[in-house]
Structure 1
Amino acid sequence: MRIQKKPVVDLGCCNQCGVCIDLAPHAFEINDAGYVDVRPLDRYEDDEDILEAVKNCPQDCISWE
């Protein structure tokens, strides 16, 4: 069985620019506290929009866990 990876946002370097939300709104959102959260999904790593969001984060705050 293959272990699924998921994106994780480092809130210490995230400046809430919104690039991840623009590119993959189904996977990222701003929570009530004003921080970026990863929405619960069944799969993340095969999703081209999520891969683009990780690649295009200007602060490189999104990594895989």
Structure 2
Amino acid sequence: MSVQKKPVIDLGCCIECGVCIDLAPHAFEINDAGYVDIRPLDSYEDDEDILEAVKNCPKDCIAWE
């Protein structure tokens, strides 16, 4: 069984620009505290929208865990 990678957000550098939410709204959201959060999904790795969101984050705050 392979371990699934998941995106994680460094909230310390996130400027809440919304690029990730615009590109992959099924995977990213603003939580009740006003921060960007990862929505629970079965798989993240092969999702082109998520890969684009990671690539286009202006502060490079999204990494793979």
| Residue 64 of structure 1, CA deviation | 0.3
Runs of 4+ in structure 1 deviating by more than 2 angstroms, as ranges, are: none
Q: How far, CA to CA, are the matches of 1:3 and 1:33 in structure 2?
A: 29
Tell me the alpha carbon deviations over residues 23-55 of structure 1, each in whole angstroms, 9 at most, x when there is no partner: 000000001111000000000010000000000
**Which letter maps to 1:39?**
R
Q: Which runs of 5+ in 1 are unaligned?
A: none
In the other structure, the counterpart of 2:25 is 25
Residue matched to 1:40 = 40
- Aligned residue for 1:21, secondary structure, equals helix
Q: Percent of counterpart pairs with the same letter?
A: 86
Give ranges in structure 2 of 5+ residues lacking alignment: none
Q: Which residue of 1 aligns with 2:60?
A: 60
Letter in structure 1 aligned against 2:39: R
The number of equivalent residue pairs is: 65
Instruction: State the TM-score, normalizing by the size of structure 1.
Output: 0.99
